[in-house]
Amino acid sequence: MIVAERKPFTEIKEMLSGYRKILILGCGTCVSVCMAGGEKEVEILASQIRMAFEKENREIEIKEATIQRQCDREFIETIRKMAGEYEAVLSLACGAGVQFVAELLAPLLILPGLNTRFIGVAEAEGVWSERCRACGDCVLSETAGICPVTICAKSLLNGPCGGTRDGKCEVDKDKDCAWTLIYRRLQEGGKLEKMRKIHPPKKHGVRIYPQRQVNEEFKKEVKSEK
């Protein structure tokens, strides 16, 4: 999932200066699961803003809403009319969601309520950790299912650096060295010879931003429906 965290309240408050009627829009998928921008977080942020504004004798009208996904046209369409009644939308989606809402509801002003962090997993209750850098050239078959691009602080493809110590990372003694993890898992699985292969430099040419992914078959179907 995409993992995000809420922006500091002071920053959100600053963004809202000058607005008296806003919609706080939650997103019901990734950021809902990582407890940053779902229905519950919309509710909490709305009360926080109401209280802060009341304290300063400032007026603000807040509408709360959450759609299933802000990265999907069909869900954004459901709030188009309602959103038009507000001066601004404070979106609690990831950066992709914020931009798509802004694109579809333009010229309505969309403000980001979250900082998008990474693609990760729910490691434990209340703990999320990064697992994928979306490099577009997956090497997990070679590295025992542990991503060196993400888990190694230097994204090294050919083994540990000289800074690793007792299986820990040079950057943070509490973090495991990715290449020690890879080494141990390959060894346990009897596949240590994989560590002898020299991996060539990544082909960054395939990643010119912004990237697109097109499924030709499906694309045609959508067209024919229109």
**Residues making contact with other proteins (CB under 8 A):** 153-167, 170-172, 179-180, 183, 187, 192, 195-196, 198-202, 204
User: What is the smallest separation between the CB atom of 116 and other proteins, expressed in angstroms?
Assistant: 18
Residue with tokens 């459901």: 78
Nearest to 34 by CA among 64, 1, 9: 1
User: What is the smallest separation between the CB atom of 117 and other proteins, expressed in angstroms?
Assistant: 17
Q: Count of CB atoms within 10 A of residue 147's CB?
A: 19
Return the number of the residue (92 or 177) whose C-beta is nearest other proteins: 177
User: What is the smallest separation between the CB atom of 210 and other proteins, expressed in angstroms?
Assistant: 19
Contacts of residue 207, Cβ cutoff 8 Å, sequence gap at least 6: 135, 136
- Peptide linkage before 201 cis (omega within 30 of 0): no
Return the number of the residue (45 or 177) whose C-beta is nearest other proteins: 177
Under 8 Å between Cβ of 71 and 97: yes
Return the number of the residue (172 or 216) whose C-beta is nearest other proteins: 172
User: What is the smallest separation between the CB atom of 206 and other proteins, expressed in angstroms?
Assistant: 14
Return the number of the residue (107 or 205) whose C-beta is nearest other proteins: 205
- Give me the half-sphere count of Cα atoms (radius 13 Å) on the Cβ side of residue 209: 2
User: What is the smallest separation between the CB atom of 180 and other proteins, expressed in angstroms?
Assistant: 6
- The DSSP symbol for 165 reads B
User: What is the smallest separation between the CB atom of 98 and other proteins, expressed in angstroms?
Assistant: 23
The CA distances from residue 166 to 129, 163, 177, 185, in Å, are 22, 10, 9, 16
Return the number of the residue (20 or 184) whose C-beta is nearest other proteins: 184
Under 8 Å between Cβ of 48 and 62: no
Q: Count of CB atoms within 10 A of residue 226's CB?
A: 4
Return the number of the residue (63 or 202) whose C-beta is nearest other proteins: 202
Residue with tokens 């050919």: 158
